[in-house]
Amino acid sequence: MTMKQLSGLDATFLYLEKPEMPMHVGAMHLLELPAGYKGRYVDDLRRHFATRLPVAPVLRRRLWWMPLNLANPAWVDADPDLSLHIVEHKLSRAQTAGADARTLMESQVSKLHPQLLDRSRPLWLMHVIEGLPRSDRGLKQVGMYSQLHHAAVDGQAAVALANVLFDVTPEPRTIEVRPSHRVKTFKLGMVEMLRGALTTELAQVAKIVSDLPSTLSTVAGTAKNAIHSKALLGKGSGNVTLAPATPMNATVSAARAFASTSVPLPELKALARTHQATLNDMVLMLCASALRSYLLQHDQLPRKSLVAAVPISLREAGDTRADNQASMSLISLGTHLADPAKRLAHIRNASRAMKSTMGRMKSILPTDFPSIGVPWLMEAVVSLYGKAKVADRIPQVANLVISNVPGPQVPLYLAGARVLTNCPTSIVVHGLALNITVQSFDAGMDFGLMADGAALPDVKALALAVDTALDELRTLAPPAATDTASAQSVVPAKRPRASAKTAVRRSAPAAAKRAAKAVTPVRSVSRKRPPARESTPTRATRSR
């Protein structure tokens, strides 16, 4: 068997991990059990996972480290003990008194998330929470909090794994398992590991050298396009800019605070159509409006727009491999604009400018790179960055992470239980103490807000502000035709070929030429000066 070494991007999540920065992702689920259920759900879930393990290789592998941690580790086979990977927690009556199921689960996620996964085992855990109040239909509920290390999956890979584990009917489907003739590898010898690492290293260096000319050409073209887009958006509204100081831009602690909310998916899609925007634009708008409201209430709203770091998938269609294939882009959120209509127009423009820039870059962004010596360097830098509290001293390029992951838009079941919520949980790092991950599920958009417990202990108030932002969006009038034309002009279009009539004009006298120039409505719109930025004066934010 060929050694399966972790890619540079996958391994980065291992090197970034510290007690104050757990690097696992997952989701908070509320599950409704069938009427008359008498069993013990954790036992049913373990039996269910046992039937799906053969088709879920990401759950059947663990890390095997290189000698002296010289290069990236490799994946080897493992036989997971499901009694250790699917664990039960029972809440007492005192813990559940007067609280609803969602709030109880948010509290459990806040408590469990800081616990690091055991690297000697497959990098995943499922926590089953018993003792929750009954559902609105009077049926028994259990909660589940999943943890999967980011070194093993990104957002799209996690969705692919969910497609294996979950069913669309209460009765679990039968999975046909094809016999495998692959020889399992439970450990690697030192010679095999060093040979594999050197072979991979040489191949990566050769690829970098061969791709260098096209890479430089793409970067140059992208830079020109970014400058053009910024000129059209107006001064101070571009995506590539340093982010203002906020409570989110701090060195994180080991504590976590988690909150969630859900909004109706069909309504959000209808609002997107009404405002000539994408569904992702509407997600950014809800987050931007909620952040503006939250920071205003705390007298901490910067005069400058907040900037979101937004993950961009690099996956080809149909690629379901369990690894990381993503990069990061920046989008200005328009939080300095008090008028919600102007804020949404700002987000639409910024989003289109980002797509125009990233469209070229996606083909050259690497997910793998040479790794010999990298583990030592990265672990030392990350440790020093945290201990020296560098994030408290220097400006950041973004204020928070906002990720929108497309999910299944149908009802789902897990081991016979109906899934009521699927709120994603993600990671926060030094300098980015808030991560808002959103996933479409069934008829809703589920928001998961993971924050550093010291920087944003009241993250629940921010989640509630998302609901208020939706109410504001419902009352927003559709954009005028001129606004739509201006938004579409951000991404420059190719100039059409000259027609025969245009050729005649070019040969006409100067007066005829001036007359012809007077009827060019599309170009006059694109040259239109953007409206003046509207801001809300606040007290000065904390100094760097």
Question: What's the number of domains the chain is made of?
Answer: 1
Active site residue 85: no
As a three-state string, the secondary structure of 85-124 is HEEEEECCHHHHCCCCHHHHHHHHHHHHCCCCCCCCCCCE
pTM summary value: 0.80
**Of these residues, 150, 336, 346, 430, which one is catalytic?**
150
The burial of 406, by beta-carbon neighbours within 10 Å (0-12 exposed, 13-18 middle, 19 or more buried), is given as middle
Which distant-in-sequence residues (6+ apart) come within 8 Å of 224 by Cβ?
Answer: none
Is residue 281 situated within a structural domain?
Answer: yes
CATH number of the domain that residue 182 is part of = 3.30.559.10
Is residue 200 situated within a structural domain?
Answer: yes
Q: 18 in helix, strand or coil?
A: strand
Per-residue pLDDT tens digits of the chain, which is 544 residues long: 456 888 888 888 999 999 999 999 999 999 999 999 999 999 999 999 999 999 999 999 999 998 877 788 999 999 999 999 999 999 999 999 889 999 999 999 999 999 999 999 999 999 999 999 999 999 999 999 999 999 998 778 888 899 999 999 999 998 887 777 777 887 777 777 776 666 666 665 665 556 556 545 544 555 555 555 555 455 545 566 789 999 999 999 999 999 999 999 999 999 999 999 999 999 999 999 999 999 999 999 999 999 999 988 776 666 667 666 667 889 999 999 999 999 999 999 999 888 776 655 554 455 555 566 777 787 888 888 888 888 888 889 999 999 999 899 999 999 999 999 999 999 999 999 999 999 999 999 999 999 999 999 999 999 999 999 999 999 998 877 545 544 444 444 444 444 433 433 444 444 444 433 433 333 333 333 344 444 444 433 443 3
Interatomic CA distance for residues 376 and 393, integer angstroms: 25
* Cα angle for residues 119, 74, 80 (degrees, 5° grid): 45
Interatomic CA distance for residues 302 and 292, integer angstroms: 9
Is residue 367 situated within a structural domain?
Answer: yes
Interatomic CA distance for residues 29 and 403, integer angstroms: 18
Is residue 506 situated within a structural domain?
Answer: no
Is residue 508 situated within a structural domain?
Answer: no
Interatomic CA distance for residues 521 and 496, integer angstroms: 14
Burial 273-297 (b: 16+ CB within 10 A, else e): eebbbbbbbbbbbbbbbbbbbbbee
Report the pLDDT value the prediction gives residue 183, as an integer from 0 to 100: 78
Report the pLDDT value the prediction gives residue 537, as an integer from 0 to 100: 40
Report the pLDDT value the prediction gives residue 366, as an integer from 0 to 100: 53
Is residue 251 situated within a structural domain?
Answer: yes
In the sheet with 124-130, reading across from the earlier edge strand, the strands are 86-90, 124-130, 141-149, 24-32, 417-425, 413-414
Q: 354, 330, 328, 325: which is closest to 159 by C-alpha?
A: 325
In the sheet with 61-64, reading across from the earlier edge strand, the strands are 4-5, 74-77, 61-64
Interatomic CA distance for residues 411 and 441, integer angstroms: 8
The range of the structural domain enclosing residue 477 comes to 1-494+530-539
DSSP secondary structure letters along 374-397: HHHHHHHHHHHHHHTTGGGTS--S
Is residue 499 situated within a structural domain?
Answer: no
Interatomic CA distance for residues 273 and 51, integer angstroms: 42
Q: What is the DSSP letter of 17?
A: -
Is residue 332 situated within a structural domain?
Answer: yes
